[in-house]
Structure 1
Amino acid sequence: MSAPTVAQYTLRRLSELGLDRIFGVPGDYAFSIDDAAELVPGLSWVACSNELNAAYAADGYARIRGAAMLSTTYGVGELSAINGVMGSKAHRLPVFHLVGKPSERIQRLGLITHHNLGDTVYDRFQPLSAAAACVSAVLTPDNCVDELERVIREALRQSMPAYLVISELNGGQPVLGTPISGTPLGAVKRQQSVPQELEAAVRTILSRLEAATNPVALLTHLVSRYGCRDQALAFIGKTNLPTAITPNDKGTMDEGMAQYVGLNAGNLSSSEAVRNLVNNADLVLDIGGIVTTELNTGFWTGHYDASKTVSINDNWVRAGEKVFVNVAIDDVLHALHERTTTRCADHGMKLEPSALTGHPEDPSSSASFYPRLQRPLRSDDTVVIETGTCMTHLNKMLLPAGVSAEGQGLWGSIGWATPACLGVAMAKTSGRTWMVTGDGSHQLTLNELAVMGRYGINPRIFVLNNGLFGIEDVISERGHDYDDLAPVNYHLLPHAFGCKNWLSARVSTVAELDQVLEQIDAHDGAAYIEVMIPNAESQPMADAIIDSGYKLSTPQPG
């Protein structure tokens, strides 16, 4: 049997992690990669509308499968994808970004080609794309086997993107050396622990937990990125630890668990009871490493006392002034679950879905929409949350048992959700995919609806139409022309994009909303619903709150 080409071997080796899709846009210098995608068994090419959308879709896929593949061409393609890949880096997702490059014969002859700046500098884009990754390599027939193992290991160890350059010439030449057969991602041990550091860290955590009278846990999305969410939830259940999440981590906790208490974000917490519970705790067990951005802390009104906080990070633990290094998060959680005997008192907080509001003849609004969205969600469903005003509502919404959510609150690139919804839906093997987006964010990437229709995926999409960039009004002031949007009849888009068997509608009253939600539940295809929302909802926050996030005003003297 002949040796596989560099491109074929690379895609096969990555697909063995459990990846069955590669997202991208074809390009001439990447043809060896594009062609290989059609030859690797079990792997399918997903032709996205543009490179940025492809990067967003790969991001969404990686959130479900643990990793993803993205392919773009040299220069124009890879640079268009950087924003999406950088978002994956911020949210700790191993996206393998494969880029085709002009042949070494062109480079050695000093020929000038397109997708460059009219000169013979062919590696100028590599530092830019590599900056969005944690590891990179230029693959050749001679180094492909060894370099690929190094890149895979490091991308999984850090749970961040990797950047792989394959020239069009090298991509079509045979691999030299002995190919390696990989294992599914779930069977890969991504980090190792130094035994004495692990034992000291675990004993410290157990001791602090045993001594605490009113401990509380906060769970972050990092446990999902390292495949140990189930371990974390099992530990929380065994200890009966009251557990909150921060806005960036919506969907990480199973909110049907008795231990869930709500969203903690300082003055913007889901309730005063949650804020008080965390503030008054004598031990805050931070499982995954809280990111203390302004949106995650209620514009920095939520503070964590370092002396009362124990943080379990990806490969290190901090307990006050003690830091333990080279301790893998999965090893720490496994040991804690095996050895803990502490069982905390019930938190006593009763969480209920938001009450339905509005009369049938009332105009549709956020107040009537979000409580109704809770009702049809079922276990194994995933809600994709766009950045914007919908994020502020959905983060506080109580998800039914077994329902997860994905958002991009840290990177916050509007338009992410629509292509990410494509990736999430393609990656899931059970349950449905729901998405909520504002019209402003949706306009950036709505062409990906055509890709959804082409590949026959069936998301449930809600576009909240208020005719403006509502979140900008909330954090600024009303009346700016730059916040107004081009008018779009969104509910007509699925038909225009060739989507088959899509339930599409525009609703403007509570009665219409109730009716379409019933139709969605009985429909076996995708749903795309334009929900009219009054733009008067987007009122600016108080000046003091806005300034707490942007720090523009001169402080009072004294």
Structure 2
Amino acid sequence: MPPGLPTGERDTLPFIQYLLHRLRDDLHINSIFGVPGDFNLPALDYVEDFPGMKWIGAVNELNGGYAADGYARVKGAGALVTTFGVGELSAMNAHAGAYAEQIPLIHLVGLPSTSQLSSSEILHHSLGHPHQTLLYSSFFKEISGSMLVVSETTRAEEIDRALEIGVRRCLPVYIALPQDLVEMPLKKEGLSRPLVKDIDNLSAAEMRVISEVLGLLSSCSKPIIIADAGASRDNISAEVSNLISSLPTWPLFVSAMGKGSVNEQHPSFAGTYMGTLSLPPVRTAVEAADFVLSIGALASDFNTGFGSMDFEGKVVVELHATWTSVDGSTFPGVGMKSLLPRLASSLSPITSSAPIPPSPSLSLPLPTIRPASDKFVRHAYFWPRVEKWLREDDVLCVEAGTSSFGAADVRLPRGATMLSQWLWASIGFSVGATVGAAVAAAEGFQENTKKRKAEEEETVASNGDGADENGGDGEAKGRRRVICVVGDGALQMGIQEISNLVRYNLGATIFVVDNRGYTVEKYIRGITREYNAINTGWDYSSTLSYFGSASSSSPDSSASSVSTHVLNTESEFDEFLTTEANADPGNLRFVIVRFEDLDAPRMLKMMAGKMGRMDEKGNLVEGGGGLGGLRRGSRVV
């Protein structure tokens, strides 16, 4: 039996304990996020008392969902508990985001009792109509990988099946539990069988795919690899790393959603490819290829540089969790978890003559030798300087919009993880996700160590990779650093969750991009419109103290484990990063960085130029705009 499983004469245990054993022992979840409500309180008693499990009380359900999402991206899966109606619907946006972004989030909803559900009683949290108490559960059908509404006849195997489907497909699992069934007995013998997280492909189908790929490669000389969203979602880090090691001459690219899925310090790493928004050497290298091996592609507008990825005239092989496409021919049921090792073995003798851009060209150079001391911070300085400051195994969480466009150009250190919502793009995600990531980081290094062992030991030094400034092995420092970059507008949506960083003594560094409004929206439309404005009167410097910390504003940040910093110039920003380079990852830093109001990262400016929102002098212009101005196809944009 798994460790911690109760022994004795009884061969059953309560429903909720069975589920908690699965979450802890099979999915490695040691913290559960959520908000208490009368219908989930019986379950929460068990959660709080369960060995090896910690309850993290979110400020609200939406932030709790974001936190569970961030936790899952670091540890592999996350869990959220809400209550019937008001709680589950409040978390629905985060649940949908996990579905869109392919995140295994286990969402447990406390329901009224079975007798209440079957009666004509009008319950609180309902819409005021009898016999509609399960209406909300139906709302989640289209945004869940699997669903289970627990009844008196539910068996342990049904819990296992729901969890297995969610984990295999990297999608949310919705479990609705009536409060009187929390202690319903289930046979505990099922726990002796581990969850089936992977399914082998049919050997004949795999061999046919490999044969097709080899046949197409026989007429190609410049194959490349692009690691996309699925490369970090489907528990395939080891398989992807092995493929990269087997094909050392194949240039390795990542998409925006693929960042953090591979070692960007590997000798074959060739940059982040987002079509015409890519750095010029990266775009040139991809367009020179004749064969593309794509791992877990997700062709959203942002992820493809607004449809500008140019694969015209190339052979494209797409590997996905449950299917494979070979130059337009689809092979359902051939998933990459099983296929990748066999494919790596078959492809290893094949070399590529496709160009790999020189390492320095994959990082944006600092625009000045010395930071400016008389002007606000510029994105052109901020992101290259952050890249130099990052160190191995960091967790970088960036907000959708200005921050994600800036982070796309950052070359990550070995073992680093990037959390962002390029597809769902829900403004306000990053602060809650940072809480979840910080909880996961505090729980230890186990999951990231597995990823690190699967990666190549070989690394390459690149300009600004942080090796000289930060040195040392991240693992030796004991805890991963968690870093968040969030705009002031997005911060105002989720700032309450910072209180949990204080409450649970969590370590994180939060950079607030103080540019006085929704800048990414201004670049799309409405530069001077009131709808893109925010309340700029917030006193961000008082945030941590307001939430209960003994925050220090001392220039010597090492004097306190919790501190607030207001940085108005590039020289102040540079000094802060120099001081904080080797600070304790358990420190909490709240850093307000003042930017020019309409300054933006390189990639966001390019987008505005392609939309006709920026003139030849680089100035934003009123009118026009809207993302509809960008049409698919690299020849158009």
Shorter-chain TM range is over 0.9
Quote the residue 2:341 is aligned against. 334
Note the 1:50-199 alignment, pairs <5 A: 50-120=60-130, 121-171=132-182, 173-181=183-191, 188-199=196-207
Quote the residue 2:634 is aligned against. none
Matches of 1:499 and 1:379, distance apart in 2: 29
Q: Secondary structure at 2:359's aligned position in 1?
A: coil
Q: Secondary structure at 1:156's aligned position in 2?
A: helix
Q: Secondary structure at 1:7's aligned position in 2?
A: helix
Q: 1:28 aligns with which of 31, 35, 38?
A: 38
**Deviation for aligned residue 1:168:** 0.8
Matched, 1:518 2:584: no
**Deviation for aligned residue 1:4:** 2.5
Matches of 1:507 and 1:541, distance apart in 2: 28
What is the one-letter code of the residue matched to 2:590? Y
Q: Secondary structure at 2:408's aligned position in 1?
A: helix
Note the 1:434-449 alignment, pairs <5 A: 434-449=483-498
Matched, 1:541 2:548: no
Matches of 1:306 and 1:163, distance apart in 2: 43
Q: 2:262 aligns with which of 253, 260, 284?
A: 253
Q: 1:401 aligns with which of 411, 414, 422?
A: 414
Quote the residue 2:315 is aligned against. 308
CA offsets, 1:70-103, max 9 Å, x none? 1000000000001101111111111111001111
Identity across matched positions, percent: 28
**Deviation for aligned residue 1:508:** 0.2
What is the one-letter code of the residue matched to 1:532? R
What TM-score, normalized to structure 1?
0.93
Q: Secondary structure at 2:591's aligned position in 1?
A: strand
| Runs of 5+ unmatched residues, structure 2 | 1-7, 446-479, 551-560, 614-624, 632-637
Q: Which moved more, 1:336-345 or 1:404-413?
A: 336-345
8 Å contact 1:133–1:163 — kept in the other structure? yes
Q: Which moved more, 1:193-202 or 1:21-30?
A: 193-202
Flag as ranges the 4+ runs of structure 1 deviating above 4 A. 182-185, 545-548
Matches of 1:56 and 1:326, distance apart in 2: 31
Question: Judging changes above 3 Å, is the alpha-carbon distance between structure 1 residues 468 and 162 closer, same or farther for their aligned structure 2 residues?
Answer: same
**Deviation for aligned residue 1:419:** 0.6
Quote the residue 1:203 is aligned against. 211
Matches of 1:496 and 1:215, distance apart in 2: 55
Quote the residue 2:224 is aligned against. 216
Matches of 1:483 and 1:446, distance apart in 2: 19
CA offsets, 1:377-414, max 9 Å, x none? 11111111110111111101222333221211110001
8 Å contact 1:142–1:177 — kept in the other structure? no
Matched, 1:423 2:472: no
Q: Secondary structure at 1:461's aligned position in 2?
A: strand
**Deviation for aligned residue 1:324:** 1.9
Note the 1:257-272 alignment, pairs <5 A: 257-269=266-278, 271-272=279-280
Q: 2:503 aligns with which of 446, 454, 457?
A: 454
8 Å contact 2:289–2:354 — kept in the other structure? no
What is the one-letter code of the residue matched to 1:292? A
What is the one-letter code of the residue matched to 1:530? I
What is the one-letter code of the residue matched to 1:332? L
Quote the residue 1:364 is aligned against. 377
Matched, 1:278 2:286: yes
Q: Secondary structure at 1:390's aligned position in 2?
A: helix
Note the 1:458-537 alignment, pairs <5 A: 458-487=507-536, 488-500=538-550, 501-524=561-584, 525-537=587-599
**Deviation for aligned residue 1:442:** 1.1
8 Å contact 1:214–1:281 — kept in the other structure? yes
Matches of 1:323 and 1:272, distance apart in 2: 32
What is the one-letter code of the residue matched to 1:274? V
Matches of 2:388 and 2:588, distance apart in 1: 18
Matches of 1:43 and 1:450, distance apart in 2: 21
Over the aligned positions, Cα root-mean-square deviation in angstroms equals 2.2
CA offsets, 1:494-528, max 9 Å, x none? 11112353121110012211222133235331211
Q: Secondary structure at 1:460's aligned position in 2?
A: strand
Q: Secondary structure at 2:285's aligned position in 1?
A: helix
Question: Judging changes above 3 Å, is the alpha-carbon distance between structure 1 residues 338 and 30 closer, same or farther for their aligned structure 2 residues?
Answer: same
8 Å contact 1:210–1:342 — kept in the other structure? no
8 Å contact 1:33–1:100 — kept in the other structure? yes
Quote the residue 1:556 is aligned against. none
